[in-house]
């Protein structure tokens, strides 16, 4: 059984003006998501600025999210690292906190061979009992998994159940599913490819767009699952202009700006990320108005 189907939000980590995590705002964001049909919450991922959280902050955010959600929908924790031992530690602590699953990004900077990636993910998964989703995003990590490695891990490691595919390479995604023989739960890692990935057998999306349009993103998936592919595709295409604006600067710069424009207290970014350039902010604001979320 899949950890979730539909649209899971890659939720931001809201910050106070002094740079501390704003837990009051975090609770409000979580409640907004649940009230608006989000199918899962993915905490401390790329969008959650996990790379600039201390280990203590990282785990505190996971614990807070699990407690706030209180089993109403699945919570999946980003616990990947380019250090295998660190990823094991974070994963074990997240499991203790009561998460429903883990999201494990490919090792960044030091990279790894395909054999190294296999060992890295197997060691992490073997250290816990909760299911894990691999996260393939070579554009940010400089390290990509081949379809063969992804499928091998899902077949040979019991609690590695799927992949968040954010390579943008739809041919690679198709190859994964051709090799998988049903053993890979596939999630889109790109909001502009939800319907194409669902058409290849995907279970849903781990979404940035859902931060500001949770019900609309959920509906793209649900319409598809209900057999209304034409309407699902129509909603996917209607969202493209806003999706493009949400990625006109590196994520999560635009989505935090979008939340702030909506009065939802995303707060500032931690360096090295900086506030959105004026022209791009104006573009984002217009796209939000045109889409009906501002």
Q: What is the pLDDT of residues 92-101, one digit of tens each?
A: 999 999 999 9
- Is 135 among the catalytic positions? yes
Residue range 69-85, pLDDT digits in tens: 999 999 999 999 999 99
Residue 7 binned pLDDT confidence (cut-offs 50, 70, 90):
very high
**CA distances (Å), 92 to each of 59, 96, 120, in order?**
10, 6, 15
Cis bond upstream, residue 272 (ω within 30)? yes
Structural domain harbouring 18: 6-233
**Residue from 118, 135, 187, 224 carrying the catalytic annotation:** 135
C-beta of residue 87 within 8 angstroms of C-beta of residue 79: yes
**Strand, helix or coil for residue 66:** helix
In a domain, 240, yes or no: no
Residue 1 binned pLDDT confidence (cut-offs 50, 70, 90):
confident
Write the DSSP symbol of residue 15: B
In a domain, 127, yes or no: yes
In a domain, 273, yes or no: no
In a domain, 249, yes or no: no
In a domain, 278, yes or no: no
Torsion of CA 255, 12, 161, 174, to 10 degrees: 10
**Residue from 164, 203, 256, 257 carrying the catalytic annotation:** 164
C-beta of residue 147 within 8 angstroms of C-beta of residue 175: yes
CATH code assigned at 128 = 3.20.20.70
Number of domains in the chain: 1
């Amino acid at each position: 059984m899949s950890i979730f189907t539909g649209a899971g939000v890659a939720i931001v980590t809201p910050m106070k003006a002094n740079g501390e995590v704003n837990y009051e705002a975090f609770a409000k964001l979580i409640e907004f998501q649940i009230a608006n049909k989000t199918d899962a919450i993915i905490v401390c991922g790329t969008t959650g600025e996990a790379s600039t959280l201390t280990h203590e902050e990282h785990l505190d955010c996971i614990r807070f999210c699990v407690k706030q959600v209180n089993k109403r929908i699945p919570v999946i924790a980003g616990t990947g690292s380019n250090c295998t031992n660190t990823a094991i530690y974070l994963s074990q602590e997240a499991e203790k906190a009561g998460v429903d699953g883990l999201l494990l990004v490919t090792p960044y900077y030091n990279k790894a061979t395909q054999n190294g990636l296999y060992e890295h993910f197997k060691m992490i998964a073997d250290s816990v009992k909760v299911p894990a989703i691999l996260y393939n995003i070579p554009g940010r990590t400089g390290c990509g998994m081949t379809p063969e490695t992804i499928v091998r891990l899902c077949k040979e490691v019991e609690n590695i159940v799927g992949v968040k595919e954010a390579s943008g390479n739809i041919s690679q995604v198709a190859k994964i599913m051709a090799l998988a023989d049903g053993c890979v739960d596939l999630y889109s890692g790109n909001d502009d490819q939800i319907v194409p990935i669902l058409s290849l057998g995907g279970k849903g999306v781990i979404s940035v767009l859902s931060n500001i349009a949770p019900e609309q993103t959920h509906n793209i998936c649900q319409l598809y699952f209900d057999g209304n592919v034409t309407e699902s595709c129509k909603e996917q295409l209607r969202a493209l202009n806003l999706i493009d604006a949400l990625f006109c600067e590196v994520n999560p710069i635009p989505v935090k700006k979008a939340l702030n424009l909506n009065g939802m207290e995303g707060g500032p970014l931690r360096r090295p990320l900086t506030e959105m350039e004026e022209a791009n902010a104006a573009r984002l604001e217009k796209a939000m108005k045109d889409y009906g979320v501002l």
